[in-house]
Structure 1
Amino acid sequence: MFTFRLLALCSLLVGLSPLQAGERDVAREMAFFYRNPRSEILIGVLDRYQGLPSRADWRAYPALAGFLAVLFRTRADEIEGWLPARLTAKSATALTAALLLSGNPSALAKLKSRLDSAGQDEKLRAEFAGLPSRLEEIRIRTATHLDILWGASFASGDARFPRMIVEFFARTVNRSEQIALDVTKTTIALMGGSSEIYSQLKPKHGDAVAFEIIIAATALWSLQSNAREHEFVDQVIAQYLHEFSATYAAKALTAIRNVPRRSPAGPSATRSRCTNTSQPPTCPT
């Protein structure tokens, strides 16, 4: 069973330290919201979310942005009722990104003064730079983009979002057998296996491709982890395996599906500890 830490809605971490009861409750309410999407669940959730100890880390917020972006599309008239009396700068930055991704400019304009008064977190603002006005238009380049799409997935149960992650992973892995092999090895390292591959990526592939491999491995790990908890994610993977069974991506997905569950080496649901979203990774050896 998952433990959820840094990203309360999907923070998708297997094997982290035990969570406090309140943190676990908020995490489950959000990670499985699509199964029981009642508005009353959302009242007070953001207030509790931003008050949890782990939410001091900026990495707790990209998935929140994706989660809220989905809700802002369909429940725009309820937004103000969900907001706590006091917003933190990180929450305000995530809300700003969510409103942008929801394609709801009127709601963004309505809440602008309140969001501005809370301030903006500079690290998060940099991570969210260049986001499109619709979730479906995200081009995955960083672990932050993966987190946003997982948040959207768990708010909606919509297969389009994990499918975007599968398609990104497949585009990267299907470029060559060597890339496919190194993505698989990196994923196994993220799951607690040998970390030897980290020191090999940059010399072998160069900075840019090494970074892509890290993000693709992070995508693969998150797909494998979430497929165990969410049937709609597993169905997306099964469909890809059925349609493209002869590809390198299908072989990597199958291989990772069969790896026993182990503790990941990374600090958040969909990002690895050696992922730096502003430059190519320098991974531990």
Structure 2
Amino acid sequence: MERTIGVIGGSGVYAIDGLEDAAWQQVTTPWGAPSDAVLTGRLDGVRMAFLPRHGRGHVHSPSTVPYRANIDALKRLGCTDVLSVSACGSFREEMAPGDFVIVSDFIDRTFAREKSFFGTGCVAHVSVAHPVCARLGDLAAGAAREIGVTHHHSGTYLAMEGPQFSSVAESRMYRDVWRADVIGMTNMPEAKLAREAELCYASIAMITDYDSWHPDHGTVQISDIVRTLTANADNARRLVEALAAAMPAHGPCPHGCDHALDHAILTAPDARDPVLVARLDAVAGRVL
């Protein structure tokens, strides 16, 4: 199968420049409408589909992003890999605003979102012990090195519900007790849903601030975040371009992301809800 990269752009990244045969496509999914139309085309010969996570104009809050519809839409368009680009705060002095972090793990503290495609009538349990595809993460790190941006090859991302930023007490707990490295509001349940859909997933987090733990930086200000995002948007686009150029054209995932459902579905075939099974045609059609 030809590899196709799905890029989910976060705050400040609402389009990808330079796509050949670029066209915005409306995609219908059984999980509702995605955040926006999907921009499809080719970049350096690689098929690509770009979806602005918050919608153009930033109309969705972190809690109202239609995560299931977004992942389903990318799978339905033939994506094999999903690259997330998002803003985050930092819990580490050495991970400074303006730096990029190739996320290696997650702590999920969200609570107001649908987190699975499966449920009553078709139960499945996938492993997210390693939620990031190591191959795709390595490609992202290599792309960051190639374009010369300051980056960190690993880091644990704490996903909070939002939309408010952390209190000082919360920020210190996440940093000092839970040992998270960065904090954001959008990579969960996105990463879990990508695994259920058998898509390779990696996250590039753009650091915009030091959250509220840092004694010299005070509270998080949205004006500072926007300023850093604007400065880094071009670097994010260049990183995506470099990753596309390095992406192998074909081949299975060496880590098994594309076979995550092999032993995950527990509901017996004759007990499965046909309505739910029909909704799973794109994300789980290979095994159903």
Normalised by the length of structure 2, the TM-score is: 0.28
TM-score (norm: length of structure 1): 0.28
Which protein has the bigger strand share? 2
Larger RCO, structure (CA 8 Å, separation 6 or more): 2
